[in-house]
Amino acid sequence: MKITYIHHSSFLVEMEQAALLFDYFEGKVPEIEADKPLIVFASHRHSDHFSAEIFRLAEKHPKIWYVLSDDIWKQRVPKPWLERTCFVGPKTELSLMENVGLPVVIRTLASTDEGVAFLIEAEGKRIFHAGDLNNWVWEGEPEEENRRMSQRFHREMNSISGVHIDVAFMLLDPRQENDFYLGMDDFMRMVGADTVFPMHFWGDFAVTERFKQLPCAAGYKDKIIPIHSCGESFEI
C-alpha cells in the first residue's frame, strides 16, 4: 500500500486493485494508472475538504466513482457523473461491489462538525479517515459546550472501539492551542490503529513531533507517522 500526502486532509491511498482519494481540494494528485478504479471521497462540504475540481479527474479515469457526504449539494455534481456518485449520511453502510466490481465496504460515522468520517474495508485492510470528526475543544468556549463536544466525540469513538484499523488519518489541529492533542489521543486510546497519519494541521508540520513528545503519547507514539512536506509518499 502506497500513501501520498497531498495537502491538509487529502491523501491518496494506492492499493493493488484500486486507489482511494480523500478530501481533495487542491494540490498535485500523483499519476494513477488509468485502468485502475479510483474512488474519490469527500467527508463534507467545507472548502478545505471538497472542491468541484475532483470531477475533472474523470477526464483521465474512466473507472472513477465518488462517495460524497450528503451535506454536499447534489447540484455541485456535473450531470454526467451523478450516476457514478453515492451520497452518504452518518451511520451508513455501503458496498461498492456493484459499482466498482470490488469488495469495498464503507461505513460512516457522524462528524462532530459537518458531514461524516469514513471507515473503509478493502483488500483485507481497514482504513479510517476522520474528515472533521474531532474533539473540538476550544479555549474560551463555555465549559459545558466543551464537555458536550467531548461526549459527542467519545460516543463516535466508542462505536468503533474494538475494530482493528490498519491505517488511520486523524486530526492534529494547532489552532486548538493547548488542546490540540485531545482528538488524536482519544482516538489512539479508545480505538487505535497500526499506522496513523496526522492531518488538518494547516501547514504546521512540526505539530506531530510536539504531539509525540507529550507524556500521553508515550505508549503509541511510534505508530504516528510524521509528515514533512506535501507530496511525501510512504510504503505501508
Q: Once rounded to an integer, what is the mean pLDDT over residues 53-66?
A: 94
Domain count, the chain: 1
CATH of the domain at 90: 3.60.15.10
Q: Which domain, by its residues, includes 90? A: 2-235
CA distances from 194 to 105, 191, 220, 227 (A): 20, 10, 9, 16
Mean pLDDT of the region 17-33: 96
Q: Is the pLDDT of residue 155 over 90?
A: yes
Distant-in-sequence contacts of 100-108, Cβ < 8 A, 24+ apart:
100/18, 100/37, 100/39, 100/63, 100/65, 101/37, 102/17, 102/18, 102/37, 104/18, 104/39, 106/67
Q: Is the pLDDT of residue 100 over 90?
A: no
The confidence score (pLDDT) of residue 73 equals 95
pLDDT of 99 above 90: no
Say whether pLDDT at 98 is over 90.
Answer: no
| For range 157-172, the mean pLDDT | 98
CA proximity to 19, closest of 6, 27, 8, 163 = 6
The pLDDT of residue 122 is 97
User: Looking at residue 36, what is its pLDDT?
Assistant: 95
